[in-house]
Amino acid sequence: MTADLWRLPAAELAGAIARREVSAAEVVESHLARIEAVEPEVRAFITPTPELARAQASDVDRRIAAGERLGPLAGVPLALKDILCVDGVRTTAGSRILGEFVPPYDATVVSRLREAGTPIVGKANLDEFAMGSSTENSAFGPSRNPWDTTRVPGGSSGGSAAAVAAAMAPLGIGTDTGGSIRQPAALCGVVGVKPTYGLVSRYGLIAFASSLDQVGPFARTVRDAALLLEAIAGHDPRDSTSIPDPVADLTATIEDGVSGMRIGVARELVGGEGFQAGVTARVREAADRLAALGAEVDEVSVPTFGYALSAYYLIAPAECSSNLARYDGVRYGYRAAGAADVVEMNSRTRAEGFGDEVKRRIMLGTYALSAGYYDAYYGKAQQVRTLVIREFERAYERFDLLLSATSPTTAFKIGERADDPLAMYLSDVCTIPTNLAGAAAISVPCGLAEDGLPVGLQLMGPPLSEATLLRAARAFERDFGFLPAPPLWGEGAP
């Protein structure tokens, strides 16, 4: 059994560990062997952390042997996006400028994971500073999609999603500023949750766009994602935007089904220009399935969502230009050598340390915030943000949840959109409205498109609707089942 432990979802593994049928150490070794076998093809990790994982696993085994009752995920391996600080472990944010940065503290999410006993098997690849939709903007090279290694896993949390899809870990942590958990989840055929802004602490998360960034879970089942979200959510006095209320129980109602739930199909985010036919077809079938399960499903038009993408690509770069000002060669990370004075040192550090996309965002953001243009760009974008929030509020007068595609297309080829920022930005058209509203959403696999690649169903809800979202996603998953295992799994389904 031990050799095949990597095939099992998190809740099953944790159960077997708690019952002492297997040890956390054996579970970790099985996954480390799996990583050794498939990582050369997938390249999900920037920094593998086998020693950290082994130490955490033996700690779990010791505590279980001592009779301690641990959390419901204790001993289950996890891939951590390399944008969350781990004390003593290199944390790069996918950037050359932090290529040798070793933080002296843990992010709150990491402290929570240590308490939960989820061994961290590696720091997962991402687009530089989480800016991108494919991981091609990583200074460490792209990750590959386990369904087809000539294709991207999505991004920016593509390494975490690919690691979970390739079964190098049953759990992953990503961040979602404009879709960076949900879009890679969709493209890799796994579950991803973008929690309500403020539900999960951002302390120790390297900032991209502070009014949008959120940390959230990846898993292969809805229940595993719910358990991981419960483990990391909750108030943190070190993050001033952290929600003070206690976190709702996310698993208590997860099997309660969708009977009577009102679900609105967000027409503009299901089909039309730019949407792949197979994506639209699978998402429509998913809506029919939810209706057959007892949900009241109806169409709703959300026309202002069409402006959300443009607003996001002003607001996020504006915030990024401010957040990334701290990388000056003095306080953090890389410093260009041999400069004549501090001005030259600063400008060469940034020229050499940042990649093209990050520079593009800093320039866009600086421009949008500059005196004389502020009202026309940043100010207008904030007004659009308010319109999007109002559109959601109107929709939630009629519906409990909204339904759409997660991504308008399946995974694209590595290189296909690399030189076309606009085509890349369009990957986020379905996911961005939720970030602008500070609300919650989930992506759950809903089938394969005509090209044989996974399609994600997105369910969106108002702030703090996670329990409802997970319940609806679980009802869908229970009825639909799971995708076949990607070819990389070899013989035998999950």
Classify 318 as helix, strand or coil.
helix
**Residue 118 CA neighbour count, 13 Å, CB half:** 29
- How near is the Cβ of 128 to ligand GLN at its closest, in Å? 10
Residue 349 sits in the site that holds ligand GLN (CB under 6 A): no
Does the protein bind ligand GLN through residue 179 (CB under 6 A)? Answer: yes
Q: Is 194 a catalytic residue?
A: no
C-alpha 210/C-alpha 222 separation (Å) is: 27
Give the three-state DSSP class for 23.
coil
Residue of 161, 168, 163 lying closest to 27 (CA atoms): 168
Among residues 210 and 347, whose Cβ is nearest to ligand GLN? 210
Query: Within the chain, how many helices (H) and strands (E) appear?
Result: 15, 11
Q: Are 187 and 161 in contact (CB under 8 A)?
A: yes
428 binds ligand GLN (CB under 6 A): yes
Report the alpha-carbon distance of residue 290 to residue 257 in Å, rounded: 9
- In the bound state with ligand GLN, the residue whose beta carbon lies nearer, of 140 and 489, is 140
> Which is closer to ligand GLN, CB of 178 or CB of 447?
178
Give the integer Cα–Cα distance in Å for 291 and 269: 18
Residue that the structure tokens 């390399």 belong to: 82
Q: Which is nearer to ligand GLN, 179 or 365 (CB)?
A: 179
Contacts of 108 (CB under 8 A, 6+ apart): 201, 203, 204, 236, 238, 239
Q: Which stretch binds ligand GLN (CB under 6 A): 40-48, 61-69, 124-132, 347-355?
A: 124-132
**278 belongs to the binding site for ligand GLN (CB under 6 A):** no
Please identify which residue in 176, 230, 391, 477 interacts with ligand GLN, judged by CB under 6 A: 176
For ligand GLN, which is the closer residue by CB, 170 or 174?
Answer: 174
Query: Which is closer to ligand GLN, CB of 56 or CB of 435?
Result: 435
Alpha-carbon distances, residue 95 vs 88, 135, 258, 350 (angstroms): 18, 11, 43, 11
Minimum separation from the CB atom of position 132 to ligand GLN (A): 5
380 is known as an active-site residue: no
CB nearer ligand GLN, residue 319 or residue 400: 319
* Alpha carbons 181 and 168: distance in angstroms, whole number: 17
454-461 β-sheet, strand order:
45-48, 120-124, 78-81, 171-175, 215-219, 191-194, 440-448, 454-461, 401-405, 262-266, 296-300
Q: Which stretch binds ligand GLN (CB under 6 A): 103-111, 177-185, 302-310, 324-332?
A: 177-185
Minimum gap (Å) between residue 269 Cβ and ligand GLN: 16
Site string for ligand GLN, 303-332 (x = CB under 6 A): -------------x----------------
What mask, x for binding ligand GLN by CB under 6 A, covers residues 147 to 166?
Answer: ---------x----------
Catalytic residue among 111, 133, 160, 180: 180
Could you tell me if 218 and 187 are in contact, meaning their C-beta atoms sit under 8 angstroms apart? no
Q: Does 217 bind ligand GLN (CB under 6 A)?
A: no
Binding of residue 215 to ligand GLN (CB under 6 A):
no
Tokens of 308: 């959300």
By CB under 6 A, name the one of 94, 117, 132, 158 that touches ligand GLN: 132
CB 209 within 8 A of CB 319: yes
Question: Does the annotation count 81 as an active-site position?
Answer: yes
In angstroms, the CA 369 to CA 62 distance is 54
Of the residues 138, 156, 242, 427, only one is catalytic, namely 156
* 439 is a site residue for ligand GLN (CB under 6 A): no
Which sign, positive or negative, has the C-alpha torsion 77, 5, 444, 426?
A: positive
Stretch binding ligand GLN (CB under 6 A), from 50-58, 175-183, 274-282, 451-459: 175-183
Could you give the residue numbers annotated as active site? 81, 156, 180
- Give residues in contact with ligand GLN (CB under 6 A): 130-133, 156, 175-180, 208, 316, 428
